[in-house]
Every structure is written in C-alpha cells, then in structure tokens.
Structure 1
C-alpha cells in the first residue's frame, strides 16, 4: 500500500527548534509515522511537552536542551542523538529566523549573524550527522527555508539572503552526499507560529496576510510537518536537491512592514 512508503518504523530523527511551532509539529509527525526522535531547543519545559506527545505516539523521545545558535552545539547534537537512540536516519534543520530590519540598520554583523543562525548551524549538524547516516545505510536531511528566499520585499534583506543561501546549500549538498544521503528543503510561507503572534492577534494584519495569500489563509505547523514527513520517508526516495514550496501559493511578501523610501 502507498501508505507504507510514509512509514519510518525503527528509524531515528533529530529535529532542531523543536520546542514549539514547525519543529514541534514535525517531531510529533515523525513519531506518529514510527520514528524515535531527538528534540532540541533552548527551552526545556517546551521540549518536555513535545516529548510527552512523542511518547504518547508510542515512540522514544530524547530531550536535548541546547543553544543551537552555536554551531559547535549543533554539531554535538548528532552524536547525542545517535548515542541516545542507537542510530540516526533523519535530520530536520528547522532552527532559524531573523527579525526584519531596515536596510541601513542591517549591519554586516547583523547579516553574518543571520547567516550563522540559519545556514552555518544547519551545516554543522548535517556535517556531524553524515557519518551516522551512512552507518545506518543512508538517510534524509530536510532543511526549513522560506518563501523569502526567493521573493523580494523591504525589511527582509538579512533573513531572505540567509534563507536563499540555505535553499542553494540544499542543492549543493544533495550532490555532495548523493546517492546515500538525500538533502531537500521546504520553502515555508506564513505559518501560525509564535513568530506571527502579533499578526494572529490583530484582525487587520491577519486579514491583510490572508487576502494576499492565494489559498486565503495562514498556514498551520502541521501543513509543514506533513511535507517534512514526505521528504524524510521512503515516499520521496527519488527526490533530492529539491526545494518544496509550502506557502499557500505566495509569490510576494504578504505583510507590508511599512518601511518608507530612503
């Protein structure tokens, strides 16, 4: 049956930024499909709640509180996952994000920090994970990029540049690691996570975003989690180097930050 292509029993995944939002939903989805999951973020209380959902699905959870903005800490996570859960098959580089900023306020340091937070940490974890993935017979890496990595809008220079880099990193890494490790990404649109709290609690802003999204709504973390499961599972066994759009059809920024001309 086709559903069997989505099952990942006996496999182990590691998910970063897993305390809430897309990371939490992805970790739970992978567990519901049969994987044991190592989860990491800065906030242990949030991780414990996600771990309870993983265990409710009948799978093991490994909680690893860490500040993954440090590439060394991100790299260490691969070994922690493999040692704690016995192997490693799936890496989900979900951690990332950068606060919008005006052009003249975007210093070189701000841009470099955005790159490190969104790209360098993902590379650190992926690089450290590769020997474990190969030892397990191969594996899948899923990077969470953004629609802002391919469209243009004011205020998103640092974030969009970093996410565009992550998307192309995905394409390049897929060649380096083929054929035994697949590398794909998801270009995420506006999703109802804590980053959009100010929008979800403001009817005017929410209506603006919904009206500028072809599907007419803001995404749910489970919309992205379903795509993560597809790319992590044998269902996508013939897919690598791809950037899958999960953005409601968005082709332009759907929130005006109100930044004036210089």
Structure 2
C-alpha cells in the first residue's frame, strides 16, 4: 500500500492484460477467422506501460491498436466509457467486445456504461457468441442458469471466463506485432475530461486470517460452528 493510504503502489509492478480482456481479444479473433469480421482493433487507455498490453493483443492477432494516452492508470469507468464512445463514433465497429470487469477494482461498469452512452443493445457475461448476418445470439451466465439473448448489430458484449480459452502469441506473431500500427490519441483529442469524479478516502490491506484449530470430535466441531462461528 502507498504510505498515504491512497491506493496500491504500482511503480515497479509489471503490467499484463486483464484475463477478461484476453478473452475479448480471442473472441474477436475467432469471429474474424470465421469470416464474421474483417478487422480487429485493440483499444486501451492508460500511461506508458499500456503500449505493452496493446502489443500483446497485436501479437495474438489483432490488426491494429489505438492507445488513449493518459498520465494515470486509474481512469474511472465512466471516463473510459466516454473515451470508447468517441472511438466507436470514429471507427464504426459492428461489435464492441470488452472484458466483463477489471481485476484491480472489479468495477464491472464500463461495458454497461458504453452501451448506455451509445444507445446500443448489450449482453454482459457472455459465455457463447454466434453471429449470423446482422444479428448476434449470446448465451450469458446468470445466477439462475443461462440466458440466451438475440441482439441487433452493432452491439456491446462483455465476456465471461467460459467464453473461450485465449491463445498464446507465437514468436513469429510477436515479431510481426512490433510492426503493426498503434494510433496514439489523448483524451483531449477525443473531447473527454478524464478528471476523477470519485475520491478514494482510504485503502487498507485485508485483515490477516487467524490460525485454525483442531477439534477432538464431531460434537465439538458442531458446537464451535454453532456457538463460536455462528454458521449453523
């Protein structure tokens, strides 16, 4: 933790692509390989280390990248959604695929906010995607089981873990990725203010778990679960 409790210290941390976003890239590549898409564009928002993440997507097979350069990695979900809205307006994609949530703050907001800003249909937590013509059929995971939605394209999708298994980038593709184009833009170029609207008051480490104990009988276990743990 940072000494002032404002967040986590990231200065010497190696950055990697969010696993949910890897699944999103993989799904886009599979749609292209199936002849359902003509181009895959990888987009990311962040400071200098963000370029490595985009290169990873290019090494997996994306055609080109767009890097929205910011001075801080902590751009809030609404600001990211507004940036993506501006890029969608420029590029006109038939399908936008995002990871369902970040793995640092777990916000799970950007895809939904983007769909609302664009006024497009959305399907979150997708575990299966089928494209036929101008329609996407999406199976999504919900608490009660599976829900199947039919969406008119263009649309917004967010990926769940069971949608696919992302490929590893081969060495030849890693070398090719170095020559693929990455367009650099700033939030100002897109007309978006990314100043934070939320204030982090305090960040603390989770409490340490206490040591377990051994019990001598089932009766003693039940007693402790009932009277001490309060789970029975």
TM-score interval (norm. to shorter):
0.3 to 0.5
Instruction: Please identify which structure carries the higher strand content.
Output: 2
Instruction: Please identify which structure carries the higher helix content.
Output: 1
With the length of structure 2 as denominator, give the TM-score of the two structures. Answer: 0.40
With the length of structure 1 as denominator, give the TM-score of the two structures. Answer: 0.36
Structure ranking higher on relative contact order (CA contacts 8 Å, 6+ apart): 2
